[in-house]
Amino acid sequence: MTQQVRRALGRLPVLVGVILLAGVNGALAGSAATDPTTPSAPPLQGAAPVRQSLANTCVFGDPVGERPVTVDVEATLPKVVETGKPVQVKDFSLTFTIGEKALGDVAEVAGGATVELTAAREDKKTPVAVPLTIPATQVPATGELKLVATGKVPDILLKVAGELRLSTGAPSLALTAAGTPLKPIACKQAPDQDTLLGSVTLLTFKTPQTPAGKPGEQKKPGTDARAADSPEDGDLYPIALQPFEMQGTSTIARLGAFARLKPGFMINAVWHVDLENTEGPGKITGSVMMPASQATFLGFGFVPITGTMELLPEDHLTGNHIIDVDGVTIPEPEGSSTVLIPLKVYAKLTDVTVNGVKLDVGGKCLTAKPIELNLRGEKYGMFTGGVVRTDPKTADPAYRDFTLPGFSGCGVTEDLDSLLTGMAAGPGNQACVGVNQVGLPWDAERKCPNVDPPVARR
């Protein structure tokens, strides 16, 4: 019996109740709470610090008038929040860098500030006013003054899945010196700045269904990975997993292009295990959200091309943008697994420019048929993640590369299908996806090579 299955089976008494009553988002936390010897699981809402520096012009009292003020914003944002639960922004602060003598001849100031965040989902926007407190701060005789304002951001509650974007507006200051109020300071932001503080993914979690019937005996996988039997769902026991983050890269051989894909998420992840044959194949299922990614490369080796690519499921015409995962897991002796993930997705192109000139491809420019991806990953941790990829050195040709089909429906004023097909379509392309449980650090064994851009390009 493999170490991963043994660890999972040790939690079965708790997981039975958790799966039925709480769903994916509570399964692992419930087992840790019941068994004090089990380490507590990382929080479901993995969080990350965000920072931005914004240029403002603020109006001080006479005779100072307008002065430039830099406002540095810091906060901690959750990565994933279940719909219907509050989005909590933690550790929120503004640091004002104010020029020498902008406040006149005062020795110490205190007071408060106000800033308005904008919470946006799709085209709907809601203002969120945040009151802040500035403690008593000594004003230096020479040089810049730094005022740190801290406060609590009101909880934001949304019941619809999607991406919540938070942007920072212009602040205002109300200060006192020696108990005497100073003239209120109003600020306005300099134009052409990126005011996006960060984004939070709102997801609706599902509860995996307990299979009907009794576990059945499974066949052993063959030496050819593609021939590994995928057991029927009714023969397997579901073990709910926490959400996963995903980072990916891809190459297009004909263009000589390398692209870093925008990070996505896998939710509703379930590991299906055969309890009577834990060393036989199992399954992993889940739902993947892959945002559109921008790419820049040289067409024909010298023409600069930019574009946005989005991967869509086969039933995308119904409005569905969620990609279903249904893969095979093969236990490895040391406790990890080999994971085989077949995918069929369409690639959609938008916002294409060639040598700086917009190429009007329209809104229906997709591959003429789905891209067939066969991804394989060894030493994959079912609870933590790993890397699944194509590999030109693998023995099985199904996992060596993928073929990009030709394009169809491209062009508004002219037919651009043959142009795009000629530039990009063909075999020999590579794909890699790193999968990491939300809340865990991105360790090297779960990251694709070169997924991080060079420091100068971050």
Pairwise pLDDT comparison (5 vs 388), residue with the higher score: 388
| Rounded Cα gap, residues 44 and 430, in angstroms | 32
Rounded Cα distance, 377 and 371, in Å: 19
Mean pLDDT, to the nearest integer, of 223-227? 35
Residue 457 has pLDDT above 60, yes or no: no
* Per-residue model confidence as pLDDT tens digits over 272-289: 988 777 788 999 999 998
Which is more confident, 428 or 209? 428
54-73 pLDDT per residue, tens: 999 999 988 899 999 999 99
What digits encode the pLDDT tens for the residues 307-327?
888 999 999 998 888 899 999
Q: Which pLDDT value is given to residue 39?
A: 38
For 377-415, what is each residue's pLDDT tens digit? 999 999 999 999 999 999 999 999 999 999 999 999 999
Helix (H, G, I), strand (E, B) or coil at 409: coil
* Average pLDDT, integer, range 176-190: 92
Is the predicted pLDDT of residue 11 greater than 80, yes or no? no
Q: What are 115-124's pLDDT values in tens digits? A: 999 999 888 8
Q: Where on the phi/psi map is residue 165: left (φ > 0), alpha (ψ -120 to 50), or beta?
A: beta
What is the rounded distance in angstroms from the CA atom of residue 2 to the CA atom of residue 431? 29
Higher pLDDT, 160 or 60: 60
pLDDT digits 0-9 by tens, 22-59: 222 322 222 233 333 433 333 334 788 999 999 999 99
More confident residue, 1 or 333: 333
Contact of 110 with 136, CB cutoff 8 Å:
yes
Is the model's pLDDT at 341 over the cut of 80? yes
- Residue 254: pLDDT band (50, 70, 90) is confident
The yes-or-no verdict on residue 175 having pLDDT over 80 is yes
Q: Which residue has the tokens 């037919």?
A: 415
**pLDDT of amino acid 227:** 36
Q: What is the DSSP string of 126-165?
A: EEEEEEEEEEEEEPPSSS-EEEEEE-PPPPEE--S-EEEE
